[in-house]
Amino acid sequence: MSIDNKELTSESAEKLLAKQALKAEYKELAIQGLWKNNPGLVQLLGLCPLLAVTATVTNALGLGLATLLVLVCSNATVSAIRQWVPKEVRIPIFVLIIAAFVTCVQLLMNAYTYGIYQSLGIFLPLIVTNCAIIGRAEAYASKNPVAQASFDGLMMGLGFALVLFILGAIREVLGQGTLFDGAHLLFGDWASVLRIEVMQLDSQFLLAILPPGAFIVMGFIIALKNVIDAKLKERQPQVTEQIIERVRVNFES
Amino acid sequence: MTSLPPQKRSTFRLPILKNSQILAIFAIVCTAIVSLVNELTKDKIKAQAQLQLLKTLHSIIEPSRYNNNITQDCVSLNSALLDHSSNNKAPHIAYIARKNGDAIAIAITSTAPNGYNGNIKLIVAINMDDSISGVRVLKHQETPGLGDKVELKKSDWITRFNGKQILSENDSRWAVVKDGGMFDQFTGATITPRAVVKAVRKTLLYFKNNKQLLLKRPNNCLIKDQQPQAENNHENEASNEH
């Protein structure tokens, strides 16, 4: 009896420990994806579509959600097949998988959100070339279990979508004086009520809508993130042993 | 000395063989998935495109004025008058609106090749009495905030064409105000409206000279697997006899 109990407790303790470790890993993944290693702000990957389509919040959300979906699916698939993929041909296989998912998402968006499909134009198929996706497949998904890999994809995708959303919101307010203009193209007719007239502009602030405006706003957002990081560091002076790391695309390099 | 032992050779070859097999399998599976999704969404995409087209056509020809299935009643045309750009060989399409079989208006797609930033694609609906029923820009890459006022979403400029007629081949009113015509240009953008006015004018002239011919062409837009199949096929045969 007593031995049994002991075994049980040690087993449950082990389980608890494993659970805690898993929890910590998920938390770390969330922090990495949303803030510390954000694909848009820190890794600076996939900037071409990020800067090109964020003239309105609706477009930004459309591309963000499409990228999120592709990222989760490709991470899950890459992780699921990681035992069967030889090291030498992994990159072409990852590209194949990503391209297949992007094409599927493109077809689905064409069928169900036609308006947004048209306004995203070439940038929807260009998700294939978004380095953030193959970066996650190579750096994380190909070495970790499906659940964690999917979660990593979700967090990275959310981080990317968040940056798109913020950039889109700032540019739309500055350029057109509205928010969620054309949201019905993405979510259906009920979403027309989401449209907000923030301010009445006599003449549009052109720079915000054009690509150079995107670069400038992006620069300010990155600067803001750095300021917040610096403030956070100031508040916690006791963690002095923290090593300053380079920006990592790959967790190993 | 001269050649490698056979086992060593096979260890060189085997991974290549294995890798290419795996790669081929993945390629086949991915292609299969994409074709499956394509098959599943094909009809929906076609329906969406038709719906979009119908919406545009409705906005330029009052839906109560006609009662045929306009998206499936069209002829394709290849005229130098409608398109001067050499790199765009896609045929233009004319959609015919009929009330009880009589044509009441025709919507013709047209291209303005001399926009500020490339081609501007338009659709121009013209009543049978040669007056404009409506014009819409389908696709353009004009400067946001300046040239994009040709979109109805940004400005109602494009509606000024409604009801306008052309008197002769060189009607001087068909130009922007700056060139002595009757259409306003935009502040800071003259090239875009100039291009649009010119394209609409050309389309109108083409229509004036060819409207009877247009009605005699065979129908190009039938969708075979739709309900009014028999009727449409019959119409098609009838128009083929001309």
Please write the tens of the pLDDT for every residue from B22-73.
999 999 999 999 999 999 999 998 888 888 888 888 888 888 888 888 878 8
Which one of A88, A97, A203 has the shortest CB-CB distance to B30? A97
Does the structure show a pLDDT above 70 at A201?
A: no
Which one of A97, A99, A204 has the shortest CB-CB distance to B145? A204
C-alpha triplet A125, A126, A131: angle, nearest 5°: 135
Task: Give dist(CA B91, CA B76) in Å, integer.
Answer: 6
Are the beta carbons of A88 and B19 separated by less than 8 Å?
yes
The answer to whether residues B143 and B171 touch, using CB atoms and an 8 Å cutoff, is no
Q: Is A89 on the interface with B (CB under 8 A)?
A: yes
Nearest-CA distance B169 → chain A (Å): 37
* Residue B133 in tokens: 């029923």
Which one of B19, B41, B45 has the shortest CB-CB distance to A89? B19
Q: Is A93 on the interface with B (CB under 8 A)?
A: yes
Region of poorest pLDDT, from A109-123, A136-150, B217-231: B217-231
Which residues of chain B neighbour A114 with C-beta distances below 8 Å?
Answer: 48-49, 51-52
Are the beta carbons of B33 and A206 separated by less than 8 Å?
no
Task: Please enumerate in sequence order all residues whose Cβ is within 8 A of that of B142, keeping only pairs 6 or more positions apart, or say none.
Answer: B115, B116, B117, B120, B148, B150, B189, B192
Share of chain A above pLDDT 70, in %: 87
* Residue B156 in tokens: 């109602």
| More reliable by pLDDT, A246 or B133 | B133
The answer to whether residues B108 and B202 touch, using CB atoms and an 8 Å cutoff, is no
Task: Please enumerate in sequence order all residues whose Cβ is within 8 A of that of B133, keeping only pairs 6 or more positions apart, or say none.
Answer: B60, B61, B62, B105, B107, B125, B126, B127, B162
* β B118-127/B132-139 pair status: antiparallel
Which residue on chain A is closest to B39 by alpha carbon? A107
Q: Which residues of B touch A (CB under 8 A)?
A: 15, 18-20, 22-23, 26-27, 30-31, 33-34, 37-38, 41, 44-45, 48-49, 51-52, 143-146
Are the beta carbons of A107 and B38 separated by less than 8 Å?
yes
Nearest-CA distance A98 → chain B (Å): 9
pLDDT band at A238 (very low <50, low <70, confident <90, very high): low
pLDDT band at A241 (very low <50, low <70, confident <90, very high): low
* β B102-115/B92-99 pair status: antiparallel
pTM, full prediction:
0.73
Task: Give dist(CA B105, CA B66) in Å, integer.
Answer: 9
Q: What is the pLDDT of residue A239?
A: 54
Q: How confident is the model over A130-160, as pLDDT tens digits?
A: 888 898 899 999 999 999 999 999 999 999 9
Task: Give dist(CA B143, CA B165) in Å, integer.
Answer: 29
Query: What is the rounded average pLDDT of the residues B190-203?
Result: 90
Are the beta carbons of A210 and B144 separated by less than 8 Å?
yes
The answer to whether residues A123 and A63 touch, using CB atoms and an 8 Å cutoff, is yes
Q: How confident is the model over A39-74, as pLDDT tens digits?
A: 888 888 878 777 888 888 888 888 899 999 999 999
Does the structure show a pLDDT above 80 at B102?
A: yes
Q: Is A100 on the interface with B (CB under 8 A)?
A: yes
Q: Is A84 on the interface with B (CB under 8 A)?
A: yes
Which residues of chain B neighbour A183 with C-beta distances below 8 Å?
Answer: none
Which residues of chain A neighbour B19 with C-beta distances below 8 Å?
Answer: 86, 88-89
Which one of B15, B26, B144 has the shortest CB-CB distance to A93? B26
pLDDT band at A240 (very low <50, low <70, confident <90, very high): low
Are the beta carbons of B23 and A89 separated by less than 8 Å?
yes
pLDDT band at B89 (very low <50, low <70, confident <90, very high): low
Query: What is the rounded average pLDDT of the residues B125-130?
Result: 90
pLDDT band at B234 (very low <50, low <70, confident <90, very high): very low
Are the beta carbons of A86 and B146 separated by less than 8 Å?
no
